Chain A
Amino acid sequence: MSLLEIKDLSVTFGGLHALKDLNFHVEEGEIVGVIGPNGAGKTTFFNMISGMVTPTSGEILFEGESMIGLDPNQVTQRGISRTFQNVRLFANMTILENVMVAQHCRTNKGVWGSLFNTAAFRQEEKEIREHGEKVLGFFGTRLIGYRLEQPASVLSYANRRRLEIARAMATKPRLLLLDEPVAGMNPMESAELTDLIGKLRSEWGFTIVMIEHDMDVVRDVSDRVVVLDHGETLAQGSFDEVSSNPEVIEAYLGRPLEKRK
């Protein structure tokens, strides 16, 4: 059974087909790259998996269970977490708080625990904090130490992207959706992050679906690449297969002149 299986998924926004009869699956432990020209419906695809947009028709199965109609928080609770294309951190919360709050759905102490400062409550807070520091430590020393107590808004752009990944990791997901993780990074940083994405699987055991425009990154880490265009799957397969597919080249570069009618 696939970890995530999507069958005949369609969504329309007022007559516009953002996605059309999409079929897609991810196996446990895979890294899948999703590519496609701008406006191909990639982000809508993520929004749909994470419950922010409800599909018009079709089925999303995660570990064999339907995810249709779940609220985003329930999706995260089931084990799918994501980052955003236009980095959306809690800018005025500290870096540590950003990853602590992401463990909300993995913890359960409520009003009573916090009011009476019970032993269980303190234990839970301690665990939340430790786990938060652990995910931040994944990115080296950049996000820990004196940075823990600083608001996220002071971070540099690349570090914000890293913090966003850390925040998604903190929710303890099984499937991680990364929306353009290296956008806006320089080649050195993106090479480093590519490495880290590999480690996310090997060391943390996450299955990863990643939208990315940077073909080097896609080539380096993806087991499989899915190409979307106009809301439809154009091609699937290994990077080399896909990159030599004439339809894909056409979608990206346009139709050669002589073929145009």
Chain B
Amino acid sequence: MTTAIRAKGAAKTNVDKFLTLLRVLLIGAISVGLLAFIAQQIDPGNAFAKWTHDGQEANRLTGEQFKGLIVSGLSQGAMYGLIALGYSMVYGVLGFINFAHGEVFMVGAFTGFIMSNKFDEAGLWEGGAFIPTVLFTVLIATLIATGLAVLMERVAYRPLRGSPRLIPLITSIGVSFFIQNAVILLFGAGAKSYPPNPDWLQDDWILGIEGVKIVVIIVAAISMAGLWYFVERTKTGKAMRAVAEDKEIASLMGINVNRTIVTTFAVGGAMAGIGGMLWGLLFRSVIATTGFLPGIKAFTAAVVGGVGNLGGAMAGGVALGGAESLAPLTLLEPLGISGVSQLRDAVSFVLLILVLLIKPTGLFGERLSSDDRA
């Protein structure tokens, strides 16, 4: 391999200089924002805060608000992590970004919506029947999401194996578009509401944190642990890692490459399905475009953690969720930027760019086969 490895003390080209400047500026802005935040926590009326807020005092964040931000960041991040697993696994094995993975997540959430409403009409979405009903709904949503992921692989991606890198990526954009609009046409374009959760789920459980958020975090952690066990400890998981390393050699070792790839899609789809259902329980609203942004952000999470690295994907998800939740109020607001909540999405993209600029292999390193690293 003659992959170019960049020098540490390389002669600087103009582009390099610009990138260095960009890194410095971004990190500088973040540091200034953080310092301003700390300053305003100590004294909301400090000179810098007054200057950035047109002479007004800054709003100090209360501990309660801070906790709220962290918890919602965590629960959102857990979901990003679940979706990111699918991206990460498929990227690890096939070396392409399955752009349509976010739609699998959306279909999981949609299935949850349809079933939960039917159950609600039958009076099964409350009282003692709630837990078995939810479990059943999660099961079906997961199955449907899995089925969709497998179907996608069979119809759109398998015929393209071995074609130039960008071809499957472009195809997956088309698949994503198609599924999104098919859902709009089949089920209508409006937002769909889940039936209300039972009160005990919305109540504060410990430390004044809503039960549903705790459930989301716990379920995500359990799924993650299950996946980890599957990939690291079972025979199928080993086959998966072997295929990720080198498809040809793996097939020579008697591994059914096709089936392993399908399994990869299936497992990724299942995770996205669970994620979709959790999304439904947490936000209680789903719309055909629900999958798009979380999908992109989950990919961001996968890159932040290091593509192909499952633990990294989960950690990346949590980091992203946290950053997205905290950064607007702790970095941007102290700088005097107004309407920061609108910039949430921008925060995650900036984080993606920042990570790729500073550590392109992600925080925990990539695990890819050698020909995918090129």
Contacts and interface: CB of A to CB of B under 8 A. Distances in A.
Q: Do chains A and B touch in the complex (CB under 8 A)?
A: yes
Interface of A: 47, 51-54, 68-72, 74, 84
Interface residues of B, number: 11
A54 B6 CA distance: 7
A141 to B, nearest CB: 32
B7 A68 contact: yes
Interface stretch (B9-17, B218-226, B247-255): B9-17
B2 A69 contact: no
Contacts of B2: 47, 52-53, 84
14 contacts: A47-B2, A51-B4, A53-B4, A54-B6, A54-B7, A69-B8, A69-B9, A69-B11, A70-B10, A71-B4, A71-B11, A71-B13, A74-B11, A84-B2
B166 interface: no
A84 B2 CA distance: 10
B11 A72 contact: no
Contacts of A71: 4, 10-11, 13
Interface string B101-121: 000000000000000000000
B135 interface: no
Contacts of A53: 2, 4-5
Given A54-B8, A69-B10, 11 more contacts: A52-B2, A52-B4, A53-B2, A53-B4, A53-B5, A54-B5, A54-B7, A68-B7, A68-B9, A70-B10, A71-B4
Sorted nearest first, the 5 A-B pairs with minimum C-beta distance are A54-B7, A69-B10, A69-B7, A52-B2, A69-B11
A145 B6 CA distance: 41
Contacts of A51: 4
Interface in B1-43: 2-11, 13
A74 B11 CA distance: 10
Q: Which secondary structure dominates where chain A touches chain B? A: loop
B365 to A, nearest CB: 12
Nearest to A13: B5
A70 B6 contact: no
B335 to A, nearest CB: 37
Contacts of A74: 11
Nearest to A70: B11
Contacts of A54: 5-8, 10
Nearest to B16: A71
Contacts of B5: 52-54
A54 B8 CA distance: 8
A47 B7 CA distance: 13
Nearest to A43: B2
Nearest to B10: A69
A54 B2 CA distance: 11
A65 to B, nearest CB: 11
Contacts of A70: 10-11
B164 to A, nearest CB: 11
Nearest to B11: A69
A222 to B, nearest CB: 24
Nearest to A44: B2
A157 B4 CA distance: 26
Q: Which among B3, B6, B9, B11 has the greatest number of chain A C-beta atoms within 10 A?
A: B11
Nearest to B2: A52
B288 to A, nearest CB: 40
Contacts of A47: 2
Contact of A72 (B4, B8, B9): B4
Contacts of B4: 51-53, 71-72
Contacts of B13: 71
B5 to A, nearest CB: 6
Q: Which among B3, B5, B8, B13 has the greatest number of chain A C-beta atoms within 10 A?
A: B5
Interface in B110-143: none
Q: Which among B2, B5, B6 has the greatest number of chain A C-beta atoms within 10 A?
A: B2
A202 to B, nearest CB: 30
B15 to A, nearest CB: 10
Contacts of B10: 54, 69-71
B368 to A, nearest CB: 15
Contacts of B9: 68-69
A102 B258 CA distance: 41
A71 B3 CA distance: 12
A178 to B, nearest CB: 15
A53 B11 CA distance: 14
Contacts of A72: 4
A255 B291 CA distance: 65
A76 to B, nearest CB: 13
A72 B3 CA distance: 11
B329 to A, nearest CB: 42
Nearest to A50: B2
Contacts of A84: 2
Contacts of A69: 7-11
A136 to B, nearest CB: 25
A2 B8 CA distance: 27
A201 to B, nearest CB: 26
Contacts of B8: 54, 69
Interface in B136-172: none
A251 B13 CA distance: 43
